Chains A and B, each alone.
Chain A
Amino acid sequence: MVNSTMFRKEWRENAWKHILALVLLSAMGISLPFLFDWMSMIPIQFGGALGEAYQRQMSDFNLYMWANWYGKNLYQILIVYAVIIGMAQIAGEVGRNTAGFLFSKPLSRELIFRSKFISGAAAMITVMVVATILTYLAAMLAGRELPSLFLAGLVVNAAGLLVIYSLALMFSVVFDDQLKAGAAAFVVALVISVPGWIPGYGMYSLYRQMHAWPIYAGDGFQIPAMAVMLLATWLFYRIGLGRLLKKDF
């Protein structure tokens, strides 16, 4: 399924990016429960619906954690993280002039692509899971309790992460310059956010899905949305692979 040598190479190559992401996400996650009491003491400066929502959030620790972790920190970092890892997968090899060396080895392009995809995805999901578990443990350490359902939001975020990652991976085959690949992925990632800004169309936004509110509300996983995310991942992956099979190095 994957080539173990390629797998190890990818982990080593991106180790610092993964460590940085883990430190950043963990620092954000761990600080959240400890900031709750302090933030509760800050007088609300704004009124209206926004003020009400804020007040509601600060009166319920579970809601506060969900709104800040899944609603803000995690998915925002994950988008940037997925683009940074994805954009370098093939374009990085071309930019460093190592593509000729790698693709002349007795490995099929399918296997190289698959190994790169899976190693990147596995590393990012590991970082995301570890940071979320640390966040959960930090809540316990802060004397608060979070339902174990809190961890279920990871499933939707993993699916969303794969969409953005496969998108960046696809552009990394299309463009030889990883910055161009990243820029293209960011533009598309921005376009995907548009439904989230239109009242009544929020459910069509990938990022709103990554907030995982239905899970918080006890409605379980949104299977159609998850299916669309996995389908989009498969589609971007296939387009990327198709381009790679025809690419000259």
Chain B
Amino acid sequence: MHDLAIQTRGLSKRYSTSVALQDLDLEVPRESVFAVLGPNGAGKTTLFKILTGLVGSSSGEATVLGCQLNNRDTEFRAKIGYVAENPVMYGYYTALEMAGFCASLYPRWNHKLVETAFKRLDIPENKKIKELSHGQNSALALTLALGPEPELLILDEPGTGLDPIKRRDYFKLLMDQVVSLGGTVLISSHTLHEVERLADRVAFLNQGRLVMVKDMADLKTGEKRIRVVFQGRPPESVFNQAGIVRVEQEGSGYLLTVTENPHGVLEELSRYPHFALEIIDLDLEDIFLEYAHREEAPQNG
């Protein structure tokens, strides 16, 4: 079996007046929770739509579950669960009828799992979809994506409108029923603390380009800030070490952003007389903001 759930090579999507994706080379390993982060308009939704066959690419290749996307094969879609950013379903169906509609389109359907999710997420079975609240609609869309026991689940900003308890319940279900059974999850979310908890690999997209891909563990151990207050003025060369990507002056001290080997940098800094020297852990939100800032800086001159 192919050990990658998704592989793209030089994937691009151009519209008449804009570029949504640019030469994207991405590899998503099977059995992983892979998060795609980026500011609005970064190309995340376009990428997800290409991977589900809703949008065609302008150039490049994409392989999903071993199936090339530039053909009309629908076999791979039977193995995918997809929830769009704002999922809209047929308002005239009840939630239960909608589940029946979806069940009949897939070669396999886990009725028991869907039933469990209906109960856990408090989805009113016999209410028409047009009468559901935003949160109930989200919960239904997420539940239906689990029905075909997908090998790959693609979630674009999942669970908007869901309360924190139901979000936690859903993601628990997701981890138990998809990830622990060997499935892969590709997720995009602005709820970064959730991504931090779920994802084991992270990609950062900006303006259609892939800026970085890292394991979550490497990201969190490699990306640090170091605060240092020197005794006297330090030599300029001290900031030219490998790994330091940004230096900000804060009063009499400095705040350094380090993307690799933070302990090596710390050791080097400690050679110079200082009043204070400390390493600051970053959470995913800090790292996200840092990358967004770094990407904006060259454009702003």
Q: Which of A200-249 contact B (CB under 8 A)?
A: 245-246, 248-249
CA distance A238 to B77 in the complex (A): 24
Contact: B55 with A98, CB < 8 Å? no
Alpha-carbon separation in the docked complex, A3 to B104 (Å): 10
Size class of the contact patch on chain B: 20 to 34
Q: How far is the CA of A97 from the CA of B85 in the complex (A)?
A: 11
B167 within 8 A of A: no
List residues of chain B with CB within 8 A of the CB of A12. Answer: 92
Q: A101 and B105: CB pair below 8 A?
A: no
Q: Which of B49, B54, B75 meets A106, CB within 8 Å? A: B75
Q: How far is the CA of A72 from the CA of B82 in the complex (A)?
A: 49
CA distance A107 to B148 in the complex (A): 14
A3 contacts across to B, CB distance below 8 A = 105
Q: Does B84 contact A (CB under 8 A)?
A: yes
A residues less than 8 Å from B53 (CB atoms) = 103-104
Which chain A residues lie closer than 8 Å to B84 at the CB level?
Answer: 100-101, 104
Give Cα A97 to B137, complex, Å: 14
Please judge, given known A-B contacts A5-B105, A107-B105, A249-B55, whether A101 and B49 are in contact too, CB under 8 Å. Answer: no
Chain A residues lying within 8 Å of B90, measured Cβ to Cβ, are 9, 13, 98
Which residues of A have CB within 8 Å of B106?
105-106
**In the complex, are the beta carbons of B92 and A100 less than 8 A apart?**
no
Q: Which A residue's beta carbon lies closest to that of B76?
A: A106
A180 CB within 8 Å of chain B:
no
Q: A5-B105, A248-B54 are in contact. Are A108 and B72 (CB under 8 A)?
A: yes
Say whether, besides A106-B74, A248-B56, A96 and B105 are in contact (CB < 8 Å).
Answer: no
> Which of B's residues lie within 8 Å of A, judged by CB?
49, 52-56, 72, 74-75, 77-78, 80, 82, 84, 86-92, 101-102, 104-107
